[in-house]
Chains A and B, each alone.
Chain A
Amino acid sequence: MTTHTHPHTHQHYLHIHEHDLASTHHHPATYPLLSIRDLSVRFTQYERGLRQITLETVSSLSLSVDVGEVLAVVGASGSGKSLLAQAILGILPANARISGKMTFQGQELTAQRQQQLRGREIAFVPQSVDYLDPLMKVGRQVQGVRNSRQQQQAVFERYGLAPFVAHLYPFQLSGGMLRRVLIACAVIEDVSLIIADEPTPGLSHAAALEVMRHFRELADEGRAVLIITHDINLAFDVADSIAVFYAGTIFEHAPMADFIAGPDALRHPYTKALYRALPKHGFKPHPGTQPYAGALPAGCLYAKRCEWSTPECEQGTIEMRALRGGMVRCIHAL
């Protein structure tokens, strides 16, 4: 398909940025490119009869990602992962309220700074053709408002998009072309952080892997890449670390090596269950469902399904803590 398949080395699997994972531990002089502490996103909605309800779709989420690194945020579809991307970019719907602290390059990421940085330092790779203007030719869209025609042609060449593709409309793109066009939109801006939201829907495994390798390559060139996906298998091939997303929060953020090593190397009971549920590990089903964003329980969001659960688990907030070179949100994890 593309002529640009850079040799991809496996050394990244083993290359672990411990200081990124345990952001509380790192040396004060170094900070991860993007760090998120206790991010919550709430929506106020009116139900029938004007009853006001609050949905907490992201709750006390913490993670960090640094340059050269691919972080995969893995979670079930519809669990609010996309809001994480929108929160970082500052493009949440108007009725959303956020709390918590985000820093980018060591400085707080305020709404004003988000507006300055998005498209310039932080790029977004959306998930579907809906994110392209249906009535504008692809070339002009990739070019955007701040780049030249030459830059557009260069980035097209990089991703093996023929010149005629620039004159197509979004509806005329094939699935594979669309992915490369969406990535091109991010790469044409010289950014240091790329956030990809579900970048491989509807692709064959081979094509999806190809897309993931593009992201690996972008990280190797010195960018940080945050990929939000429901497909943990794809993350296995390119990510440096995986953050496990559940009911709007992160349960565990661990180096890739731990996910390869197996349940004993992992920390959180949910991550272990997730591991065992993978087809290649016996497909053990994991009973239960995630709690509804409008009715989050106190304490651990996993308590209803957890085999280790004790009364303490349902009291107070469970803090994210560093453990064995990773981060975990569980009081009983060892």
Chain B
Amino acid sequence: MHVSRWISSSISAATYILGTTARLLSLLLAVSILSFCLVSAAPFDPVTAFIGPEAVISPEQKAAIAAHWGLYDPPPLRYVAWLNNVLHGDMGISLIYRQPVTEILLERALASLALMGLAWALSGILGFVMGVVCGVFKGSVFDKITKTCALALSVAPTFWLALLALMVFSVFLQWFPMGMAVPAGKLAGDVTLADRLWHLILPALVLSVSGVANVTLHTREKMVTALASNYANFARARSESRWQLVRRHGLRNVALPALTLQFASFAELFGGSVLAEQVFSYPGLGSAVTAAGLRGDIPLLLGIALVSALFVFSGNVIANVLYGLIDPRIRESAKPFRPKQKKLPDTSSTSPLPNTPDTSSSPVSLPSPLPPVIALKPTGYHRRPGGCSHD
């Protein structure tokens, strides 16, 4: 019996991995085709982008370069050529940085990961703690202030926050440097880890703000729901104190959605990093995408599109797998790797009262089984799925 169960769970695990890989490949293909169409339609002139606008060359020379690059071929042919190169590990040369795209991606992705990772951890930990406190002490002064601030900050544009932070902390208070990843004018060999951290803190804080706000609101709402649930009421009827209630039932039921939300937030994180990196001149993927977009660096743009799709996709896959591993309702059922929430049979409607409008619940609502959030291109004013709007 155990063996057969093990076999069936291994089979479903294998099915899940195969399915996920297939989905990833088709996603990357779709992203590359779409991006290719977009950049083909855009009024980019790769030759000018490459030689620079000041360089004076004759139209004949330009045409010769374009012909050499195959720019007169029909777009499908160009796409296939590009795809073929990518499959052989060659993503082309960046027109503006004059370096292989793969090298740039690697270097920039590392810088971006440091920034996003710090912001991500900050928003997860800080948001969760504040959300729990707010939910437990719902209606208290702390709760009201935090909720109002979180609502305001969750809709504040990142670039505006970044400018504000630069003005206050870098210009007036001079606590932090004016952007960049390392001190200007210092030799690469002399740059210390402390230097890097010091440059990282302000952008990471700014980038984490909307995350902290959203996680706080989400956690708060889940905690309020958990403490008002029938199971909490039953625990209360069995003489559990408020602290026991929070520890035994509240945290348990709040941590699960918070954790999956955390991984599903990669899309917003990436979107936010584009703006934050731009304002702080931080040399990550985000600032590279802006530069590539503005100056028509097609190979780099396509490369970043692929990397960001991969990044967001992995976040969603991790979220789904984690959900399956942590939630006993999925883990303990026959198909442990099916990333879907099992609907519990709703045996009764327990409240005989007409709906009591809960005016204090936060407006952030998330679909519980997280849908695969796939952002083809990060956009500026990114919001959580489900939206966040005032009452």
Contacts and interface: CB of A to CB of B under 8 A. Distances in A.
Nearest to B347: A128
Nearest to B231: A133
Contacts of B231: 130-134
Nearest to A131: B234
Contacts of B332: 168-169, 172
Contacts of A171: 328-329, 342, 344
A251 to B, nearest CB: 18
Interface residues of B, number: 34
Interface residues of A, number: 43
Contacts of B256: 135
Contacts of A168: 332
A145 B229 contact: no
Nearest to A116: B239
Contacts, number: 110
A198 to B, nearest CB: 8
A285 B236 CA distance: 41
A283 B329 CA distance: 44
Interface in B219-238: 229-231, 233-238
Contact of B347 (A124, A130, A172): A130
Contacts of A78: 352
Interface stretch (A10-18, A79-87, A207-215): A79-87
A187 interface: no
Given A130-B230, A145-B238, A145-B244, A57 B348 contact: no
B352 to A, nearest CB: 5
A124 B240 CA distance: 13
B238 A124 contact: yes
Interface string B342-369: 1011111011111011000000000000
B241 to A, nearest CB: 8
Interface stretch (B246-254, B261-269, B377-385): B246-254
Contacts of B235: 133
Given A128-B347, A130-B350, A169 B329 contact: yes
A95 interface: yes
Interface string B253-283: 1001000000000000000000000000000
A217 interface: no
Contacts of B353: 43, 55, 57, 93
A272 interface: no
B328 A135 contact: yes
A6 to B, nearest CB: 25
Interface string A110-146: 0000000011100110111111111110000000111
B238 A189 contact: yes
A116 B337 CA distance: 45
Contacts of B252: 133, 135-136
Interface in B264-318: none
A225 B235 CA distance: 20
Nearest to B255: A135
B166 to A, nearest CB: 44
Contacts of A169: 328-329, 332
Nearest to A248: B352
Contact of B248 (A45, A95, A120, A133): A133
B238 A119 contact: yes
B356 A95 contact: yes
Contacts of A202: 347
A46 interface: yes
A79 B234 contact: no
Interface in A254-287: none
9 contacts: A81-B352, A83-B352, A123-B237, A126-B230, A127-B348, A128-B347, A129-B344, A130-B346, A136-B249
Interface of B: 229-231, 233-240, 244, 248-249, 252-253, 256, 327-329, 332, 342, 344-348, 350-354, 356-357
Q: Which 9 pairs of residues, A with B, have the shortest CB-CB distance?
A: A119-B239, A131-B234, A119-B238, A130-B230, A124-B237, A128-B347, A133-B231, A128-B348, A169-B328
